[in-house]
């Protein structure tokens, strides 16, 4: 931030009236404010042109507020604020805090599905074309997103006739190179077969770059080149080659037809439409590049406050483009309504893109027609989401209440932590901690433990629970809840300014196991003096719920939503523990096998694994093949072969 910030805070004991800032204490300046819950966790972040006017609106007429705003205020116990110099700085700080704290009551745009992209791995020696979902990877070029994976595969199948680049996995590619025979695509001319050196790495990369150029919209030069070659082949009476080129041209034309031309050539823009009701909103985006629709994507959002379309558009633009690369931002963003601070948002996006970004509302012509099409998609998306969401919200609320009733809890367990231990005959013992909030997995707060105890599952559960809640008590002390220094912010590390990993306790701890495991978890909490966290164990055999100190289990009906929720939590903890255990075991197996080789250091061990892919393949290699690794001579290679084959070196 360019301007100096001023900060203020108002704290409370209970209820919004008790932490209302005193008259005149809030500045009449632009800034960003935070509401915090009982554990010091930030539950809402907002910005305002006038902090006093905005914050006073929360306390002036509580009964007239939106129901979710009322819930937020009754959950909060204090509010603080930071003054900034300009509206752009307020936008930057608001986005930064939302990203950092992930507040429960802020607008969060969630993908209504996992959209596939066409990806070309240009960072590899032999680039590969494939369908990818999820987070984008460095060194990979992406096209899309598309609505369906089959749409990508149809396009790729057509383009591989003209640009026969690799589409196989790393394992298939290596095996083809080892046996000296390409896969089926190599025989039907839909792959140039770099695995068997039919083309060099440079030639294959040129094909990949041409493929990317075509997908990016530079289609004209390829069509002209193929037409010129077809006419020349016909003139030279090479009719079979001319026919193949004709078919290639038709394949490119069919691929181009799949990307509809909607605007003038050279038009790059994102078209954003919004459909909403009093509780939720759906957003659809069409990505137009070179005048063609290159992809489509959708989001849904729960409204927290009485936010109008302009506020929703503003939040969406910040969240959508906040982490995007400069290349992903278009020159023009078409929206249904301008955000309240349109100039500030445009300035912020322009700074991010390092070039001018314009935010406009289309008024007439093709752009307005396209906006109407995107809006119809958004309406349909909201309709479909509501059909799914209605049962989902009801089911989760019912499940949490059933758990509270069955375990005799004072309130529904909004935060549940589940622990599972994984090992093989007591070796490589690990444990997992998964977190569910409001009945949904919160994967950013998952944790894993390498267990020191070797005395069985009960001892492991005791150790893990002790370690987790010792950290919790340490965090409470560090954040000022246990006689810490004045001025420390609850749940926040004073040195880094970030939320602490174990600062928030669960309402319910679930352990995978029966009465012994539940008792061990309760004993760990008792010894630490933690008396406000409930404990239960879920035994796999009969799906019985065990409470500490009880002789008989709680039997939940097989069809109950409570049992289904506990099973999902337990199964997710088991999956997370197994994943960690497998990675740890795999690493230890690799290390132990090569550790037996005398004179082989970490760098050369890593080079061997990287070259051969696994210890198994290394064990099958000859001394001559091992000598190909830089830094490994004939004597060392013979030693490696002897050690891995169980012979005395």
The pLDDT value recorded for residue 508 is: 94
Q: Is the dihedral of CA 250, 252, 257, 262 positive or negative?
A: negative
Q: Measuring CA to CA, which residue among 499, 502, 520 is closest to residue 433? A: 502
| 252 and 345 together in one domain | no
Residue 286 in 3-state DSSP?
Answer: strand
pLDDT at 481 over 70: no
- Mean predicted confidence (pLDDT) in 214-226: 76
Domain boundary among 354, 389, 424: 389
| 172 and 88 together in one domain | no
Q: Measuring CA to CA, which residue among 123, 211, 121, 222 is closest to residue 160? A: 211
| 376 and 422 together in one domain | no
pLDDT at 472 over 80: yes
pLDDT at 483 over 50: no
| 234 and 311 together in one domain | no
| 216 and 304 together in one domain | no
pLDDT per residue over 618-635, tens digit each? 778 888 888 888 878 888
The pLDDT value recorded for residue 210 is: 86
The pLDDT value recorded for residue 148 is: 61
Q: Which residues contact 632 (CB under 8 A, 6 or more apart)?
A: 604, 607, 608, 626, 640
Percent pLDDT > 70 in the chain is 82
The pLDDT value recorded for residue 135 is: 64
| Pick from 73-87, 177-191, 246-260: least confident | 246-260
Q: How many CB atoms lie within 10 A of CB 454?
A: 11
- Mean predicted confidence (pLDDT) in 403-429: 84
Angle between helices 457-478 and 515-528 (to 10 degrees): 30
CATH of the domain at 348: 3.30.420
| Pick from 250-264, 324-338, 357-371: least confident | 250-264
If you average pLDDT over every residue of the chain, what do you get? Answer: 80
Residue 21 in 3-state DSSP?
Answer: coil
Most confident of 348-362, 373-387, 420-434: 348-362
Buried b (16+ CB within 10 A) or exposed e, 273-302: bbbbeeeebbbbbbbbbbbbbbbbbbbbbb
| 196 and 273 together in one domain | no
Count of domains for the chain: 5
- Mean predicted confidence (pLDDT) in 312-328: 83
pLDDT at 13 over 50: no
| 293 and 248 together in one domain | no
Helices and strands, number each (H, E), in the chain:
19, 20
| 380 and 399 together in one domain | no
pLDDT higher for 38 or 464? Answer: 464
Q: Which residues contact 519 (CB under 8 A, 6 or more apart)?
A: 548, 549
Instruction: Tell me, yes or no, whether 125 lies in a domain.
Output: no
Domain boundary among 389, 405, 421: 389
pLDDT per residue over 550-585, tens digit each? 888 888 876 688 888 898 888 888 888 888 767 766
Domain boundary among 101, 121, 138: 101
| 539 and 472 together in one domain | yes
| 365 and 412 together in one domain | no
pLDDT at 296 over 90: no
pLDDT at 524 over 90: yes
The pLDDT value recorded for residue 11 is: 47
The answer, as to whether pTM is greater than 0.75, is no
pLDDT at 391 over 70: no
The pLDDT value recorded for residue 600 is: 73
The pLDDT value recorded for residue 561 is: 84
The pLDDT value recorded for residue 110 is: 66
The pLDDT value recorded for residue 416 is: 93
- Mean predicted confidence (pLDDT) in 64-86: 81
Residue 481 in 3-state DSSP?
Answer: coil
* Backbone angles phi and psi of 363, in degrees to 5: -110, -25
Distance CA 141, CA 127 (A): 10
Angle between helices 149-159 and 201-215 (to 10 degrees): 120
List the domain range (segments joined by +) for residue 464.
Answer: 393-478+503-582
| 558 and 601 together in one domain | no
| 424 and 532 together in one domain | yes
- Mean predicted confidence (pLDDT) in 152-158: 77
pLDDT at 295 over 80: no
Confidence of residue 3 (pLDDT cuts 50, 70, 90): very low
Confidence of residue 149 (pLDDT cuts 50, 70, 90): low
Confidence of residue 286 (pLDDT cuts 50, 70, 90): confident
Q: Measuring CA to CA, which residue among 316, 334, 158, 159 is closest to residue 263? A: 334
């Amino acid at each position: 931030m360019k301007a100096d910030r001023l900060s203020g805070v108002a704290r409370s004991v209970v209820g919004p009236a008790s932490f209302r800032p005193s008259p005149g204490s809030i500045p009449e300046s632009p800034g960003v404010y935070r509401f915090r819950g009982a554990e010091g966790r930030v539950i809402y972040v907002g910005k305002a042109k006038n902090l006093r006017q905005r914050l006073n609106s929360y306390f002036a007429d509580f009964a007239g507020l939106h129901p979710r705003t009322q819930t937020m205020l009754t959950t909060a116990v204090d509010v603080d604020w930071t003054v900034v110099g300009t509206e752009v700085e307020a936008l930057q700080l608001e986005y930064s805090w939302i990203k950092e704290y992930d507040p429960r009551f802020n607008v969060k745009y969630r993908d209504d599905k996992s959209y596939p992209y066409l990806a070309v791995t240009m960072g590899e020696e032999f680039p590969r074309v494939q369908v990818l979902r999820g987070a984008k990877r460095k060194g990979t070029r992406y096209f899309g997103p598309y609505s369906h994976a089959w749409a990508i595969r149809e396009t790729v199948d057509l383009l591989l006739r003209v640009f026969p680049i690799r589409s196989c996995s790393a394992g298939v590619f290596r095996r083809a190179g080892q046996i000296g025979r390409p896969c089926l695509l190599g025989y039907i001319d839909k792959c140039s077969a770099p695995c068997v050196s039919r083309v060099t790495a440079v030639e294959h990369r040129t094909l990949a770059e041409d493929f990317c150029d075509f997908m990016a919209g530079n289609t004209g030069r390829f069509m002209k080149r193929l037409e010129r070659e077809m006419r020349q082949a016909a003139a030279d009476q090479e009719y079979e080659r001319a026919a193949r080129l004709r078919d290639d041209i038709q394949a490119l034309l069919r691929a181009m037809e799949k990307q509809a031309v909607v605007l003038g050539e050279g038009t790059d823009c994102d078209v954003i439409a919004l459909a909403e009701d009093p509780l939720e909103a759906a957003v659809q985006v069409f990505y137009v590049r070179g005048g063609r629709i290159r992809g489509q994507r959708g989001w849904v959002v729960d409204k927290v406050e009485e936010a109008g379309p302009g506020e929703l558009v503003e939040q969406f633009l910040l969240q959508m483009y906040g982490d995007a690369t400069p290349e992903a931002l278009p020159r023009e963003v078409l929206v249904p309504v301008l955000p309240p601070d349109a100039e500030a948002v445009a300035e912020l996006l322009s700074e991010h893109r390092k070039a001018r970004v314009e935010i406009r509302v289309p008024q007439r012509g093709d752009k307005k027609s396209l906006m109407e099409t995107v809006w119809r998609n958004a309406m349909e998306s909201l309709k479909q989401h509501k059909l799914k969401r209605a049962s989902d919200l009801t089911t989760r609320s019912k499940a949490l209440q059933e758990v509270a009733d069955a375990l005799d809890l004072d309130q529904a367990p909004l935060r549940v932590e589940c622990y599972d231990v994984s090992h093989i005959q007591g070796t490589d013992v690990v444990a997992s901690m998964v977190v569910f909030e409001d009945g949904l997995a919160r994967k950013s707060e998952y944790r894993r433990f390498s267990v020191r105890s070797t005395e069985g599952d009960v001892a492991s559960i005791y150790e893990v629970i002790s370690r987790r809640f010792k950290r919790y008590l340490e965090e409470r002390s560090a954040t000022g809840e246990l006689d810490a220094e004045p001025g420390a912010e609850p749940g926040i590390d004073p040195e880094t300014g970030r939320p602490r990993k174990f600062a928030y306790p669960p309402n319910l701890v679930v352990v995978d196991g029966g009465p012994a495991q539940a008792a061990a978890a309760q004993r760990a909490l008792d010894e630490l003096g933690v008396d406000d966290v409930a404990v239960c164990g879920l035994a796999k055999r009969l799906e019985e719920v065990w409470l500490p100190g009880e002789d008989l289990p709680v039997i939940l009906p097989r069809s109950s939503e409570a049992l289904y929720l506990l099973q999902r939590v337990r199964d997710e903890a088991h999956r997370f523990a197994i994943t960690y255990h497998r990675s740890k075991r795999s690493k230890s197996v690799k290390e132990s096998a090569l550790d037996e080789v005398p004179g082989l250091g970490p760098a050369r061990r890593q080079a061997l694994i990287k070259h051969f892919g696994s210890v198994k393949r290394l064990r099958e290699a000859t001394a001559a093949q091992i000598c190909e690794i830089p830094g490994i001579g004939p004597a060392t290679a013979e030693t490696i072969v002897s050690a891995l084959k169980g012979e005395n070196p």
